[in-house]
Amino acid sequence: MTENNPFKDLSAVPARDPDDLQRAENLQKKEQSRTVADLGLATPEQLERLPRIRDLTVHDLNDLAAEFSGIPTDNRRVAALSLDDLQDLEGVFFEFKRAVGSDLVSRRATVRSVDVSCCCCTPCCSCAAADMTPTAS
């Protein structure tokens, strides 16, 4: 399931040749530039009402998480977010977590442990829920 995690650090990918390292770097850049809209966490109608949230990238969300941890990032998109924007962002991730949790509960017969919890409301924690999406077999 970790294959679709947009927050995965690709720096540890073993390079067999220079092209492998270049492909890994290109993949990491591509993943870091995905937006909230690209992640499919909310309906297009909901995201249309939230353009500043819709256009945040994975990189921006990681910077926001760093800011919540007290690490300054100088990310202008993060600095421009209002308290209302942060609440809207949490709402987007809350709906996604609710959908994933509902799906897990409905499959409880095949799932022994359901642990969909979050110790905080930061986007980095919420974004980790994206790793829980089912993958095609």
How do residues 70-93 score in pLDDT, each as one tens digit?
999 999 999 999 999 999 999 888
Residue with more model confidence, 114 or 81: 81
Q: Which percentage of the chain shows pLDDT scores above 90?
A: 27
Instruction: Give the least confident one: 13-17, 38-42, 101-105.
Output: 13-17
Grouping H, G, I as helix, E, B as strand and the rest as coil, residue 134 is coil
Q: Taking residues 38-42, report their average pLDDT.
A: 84
| The token pair that represents 108 in the structure block | 């409880």
pLDDT of 47 reads 87
Grouping H, G, I as helix, E, B as strand and the rest as coil, residue 70 is coil
Q: Residue ranges of the alpha helices (H) in 33-82?
A: 36-39, 44-48, 51-54, 58-68, 76-79
pLDDT of 23 > 80? The answer is no
Q: Sign of torsion, CA 43 58 130 120? A: negative
Q: Sign of torsion, CA 81 82 86 92? A: negative
pLDDT of 114 > 50? The answer is no
| CB < 8 Å & 24+ apart, contacts of 47-50 | 47/92, 50/85, 50/88, 50/92
pLDDT of 5 reads 60
pLDDT of 108 > 80? The answer is no
Phi then psi for residue 78, to 5 deg, are -65, -45
Count CB atoms within 10 A of the CB of residue 65. 20
Closest CA to 129 of 106, 100, 103: 100
pLDDT of 2 reads 46
Report the mean per-residue pLDDT for the chain.
Answer: 74
**pLDDT category of residue 8 using cuts at 50, 70 and 90:** low
